[in-house]
Structure 1
Amino acid sequence: MKKPISDAVILMAGSGSRLVASGHVLPKPLIQISGRTVFSYMIDALQRAGIETVYVVTGLNSDALLKGLKPLIPAEITLHPIHNPEWQKQNGISVLAARAHLQAPFFLTMGDHLFEPSIVDLLLREAKPTELNVAIDRKLNSIFDLEDAMKVQTRGDRIVRIAKDLSNYDAIDTGAFVCPLSFFDYLERAKRAGDCSLADGVGAMTNDGKVRAIDIGNRWWQDIDTPGMLAAAEKVLDGSRHLFRPAPTAP
């Protein structure tokens, strides 16, 4: 029986420029959707899935962000902030900032993503700890902004290509991963001029046939990168309260 995954890394170092430009002043994880913050939805899903330690990688306005996050952490979860001084670089550098803190495979996502809790459960249950496991969505017609989405090409349960500009693709990367510790080595190899994206690291692992696709089926997710995405997520959540009932707290 494989060891349960108990660590999660959430990337929050970006500036959220497209939402800021539209007048939003709060960091994206603290934006309210249907009466709750984006982060509260994620932390509930992680708590339900048995995650015990959450590492948040911060950058711009770290102090204000952490001040807003800490009251949302349940007693069952330990929060560890990690500051990325190179937050203006791509998100692969934020992943590498967490390297020294992890000793086992871990769940990875972004602070501006919403997931139906069963997606986290599925990914943790099906993940193989020696490979990179990516939650993918094959419902291409349901993607809010397909042009901007991270596209993947699969062969069976393998991801063979990943990029936003793929012309031949059959699924979308949802931004939820279970990563082996070796993923850090691939990110280091993918660096160019001291910088790399998360997708660069995934692409490097695909070349070695070590990236698995885990299909989320009919489950729902949404990233919150633009005002349109925010409105779309709010519409779903307003009509589907059962998707995100708060997790029970310890007595």
Structure 2
Amino acid sequence: MEALIIAGGKGTRLAEYTTEIPKPMIQLCGKPVLEHQIEVLKKNGITDITITVGHLKEAVMDYFKDGRDFGVKIKYLEEEKPLGTCGVFYLLNGAVKRTVFVVLGDVIFDMDISRFYKFHKKSGAQISLVVHPNTHPYDSDIIDCDDKGKVKKIFSKKGDRPQYLFNRVNAGAYLIEPEVFDGFQGPEKRDLEKDLISSHIVRGEVYAYQTTEYLKDMGTMDRLQETEKHIKTGLVSKMSLFSKQKCVFLDRDGTINKLKGLIYSPDQIELEENAGKALHQLNDNGYLCIIITNQPVIARNLCDFDTLDEIQKKLETLLGQEHAFVNDTFICPHHPDKGYPEERPEYKIKCTCRKPEIGMVQQAVEKHNIDLSRSFFVGDTTTDILTGSRAGLRTILLKTGEAGNDRKYEVEPDQVCENLLQAVNWILTQ
């Protein structure tokens, strides 16, 4: 691969800095944002880098020169006038021979790009974009995709969109195949998302890669301060999938949302008190938050998978309104008991995913490089506690939901807490 950093914008939201230097040259922890990006690219073995420059371009070019002092090779695409986020791509027509990792110049990130590349190639995509949950999905563009990752639509933060959506936000990093650049014929102001990506979505050529890794734009004062804090604490590098991750596995019903019997409609979803606050604390302290839930409503034919998606969308939307998110969700649709006339026989089976089996935990460990020795399982039933114990996790039983009164198994949790917030506060002291 080679890399392209889009760094030509004016950065009007950080005007107090960008009247003298371009936004990607703002220093965080003693280094320009661009230098942080180049270090991550180099760590991933990507040393051929092109940087698009425009506003105050001399500051970038004088600092990095040809890249030799930073262990990379740097070329520049110079805008004579502002051309948006991808208008300058016409200068790459015929010049690109390899897949290009493209990143916006205001994104602080650290990630294992090889995982992204494997997804991109397996999907057969022309363009793949990184998506992740964030703490403000209500004012972010949301990516709608199918279960294979094929992007169906981008819901703009400024346009009409459904009330509930998965918290999948465009993170500002992409993989683009060479032939995409050949479609640019001359200098014209264009937007990467609205003009380029949208046209390829129509052709079914765009896929979304969801990751738990750290990617955050530092384009506002609040985010500038937040990203600097996260660099100082090491959170940015620790979230990279080059490293083992710490995780809190969470039951859903009775733990995050209130227990209302079998949940088969979005109308039944209501967050437990302070659940959003609890998850926000985990998000801010570098813990993955992964839901592990049995949902026999499928096997019992109380709802279908589309409705299950709508339930999850509402949950993620409500958490987003509380500035919190879950990183992933694993659902078992099976149920072993047969003999009901309305049931779906294909899901009435014994499986390795239904708790207290640990199949879903094992899938999460494989996908997200999780260190079980630094991780926890939180739930409201003895089934949850047995699942966590079998997986080698420290376990916490909540007094919300069933509060352990299912009494299916003779197990002892490592800790008992009144609610999810108390559990999280205990976890953060360990």
Partner residue in 1 for 2:62: 67
5 Å-filtered alignment, 1:47-126, equals: 47-70=42-65, 74=69, 76-87=71-82, 89-118=83-112, 120-126=113-119
The one-letter code sitting in structure 1 at the alignment partner of 2:120 is A
Distance 1:18 1:242 in 2: 23
The one-letter code sitting in structure 2 at the alignment partner of 1:127 is H
Of 145, 148, 169, the residue aligned with 1:154 is 145
1:127 aligns with 2:120: yes
Of 176, 191, 201, the residue aligned with 1:197 is 191
Partner residue in 1 for 2:415: none
Structure 1: gaps (5+ residues): 245-251
Q: Secondary structure at the match of 1:134?
A: strand
1:77: how far off?
Answer: 1.6
Distance 1:10 1:110 in 2: 6
5 Å-filtered alignment, 1:28-47, equals: 28-47=23-42
Distance 1:174 1:29 in 2: 16
With the length of structure 2 as denominator, give the TM-score of the two structures: 0.49
Q: Secondary structure at the match of 1:124?
A: helix
Of 209, 220, 223, the residue aligned with 2:217 is 223
What does the per-residue CA deviation read over 1:104-159, in whole Å, with 9 as the maximum and x for residues that have no partner?
A: 221111111111233x343233322652111111x24x34xx45533211112111
1:180 aligns with 2:172: no
Q: Count residues with an aligned counterpart.
A: 229
Q: Secondary structure at the match of 1:91?
A: coil
Distance 1:209 1:18 in 2: 34
8 Å contact kept, 1:9–1:98: no
With the length of structure 1 as denominator, give the TM-score of the two structures: 0.80
Distance 1:17 1:80, change over 3 A: same
- Rg larger in structure: 2
What does the per-residue CA deviation read over 1:149-199, in whole Å, with 9 as the maximum and x for residues that have no partner?
A: 3321111211111253352443111111110123235666xx9x9432101
Distance 1:53 1:198 in 2: 21
The one-letter code sitting in structure 2 at the alignment partner of 1:78 is K
List structure 1 segments (4+ residues) > 6 angstroms apart after TM superposition.
Answer: none
RMSD: 2.7
Distance 2:111 2:37 in 1: 8
Partner residue in 2 for 1:213: 208
Q: Name the stretch that deviates more: 226-235 or 61-70.
A: 61-70
8 Å contact kept, 1:112–1:224: yes
Q: Name the stretch that deviates more: 93-102 or 198-207.
A: 93-102
Distance 1:229 1:121 in 2: 27
Distance 1:73 1:28 in 2: 23
Q: Name the stretch that deviates more: 34-43 or 124-133.
A: 124-133
8 Å contact kept, 1:224–1:230: yes
- Higher-RCO chain (CA-CA 8 Å, sequence separation at least 6): 1
Structure 2: gaps (5+ residues): 239-430
Q: Secondary structure at the match of 1:101?
A: coil
1:49: how far off?
Answer: 1.2
The one-letter code sitting in structure 2 at the alignment partner of 1:152 is I
8 Å contact kept, 2:142–2:169: yes
Distance 2:10 2:77 in 1: 16
Distance 2:31 2:53 in 1: 21
Q: Name the stretch that deviates more: 100-109 or 229-238.
A: 100-109
Partner residue in 1 for 2:156: 164
8 Å contact kept, 2:17–2:23: no
8 Å contact kept, 1:159–1:211: yes
Distance 1:72 1:38 in 2: 15
The one-letter code sitting in structure 1 at the alignment partner of 2:177 is P
8 Å contact kept, 1:22–1:227: no
Distance 1:194 1:204, change over 3 A: same
Q: Secondary structure at the match of 2:203?
A: coil
Q: Secondary structure at the match of 2:65?
A: helix
Q: Secondary structure at the match of 2:60?
A: helix
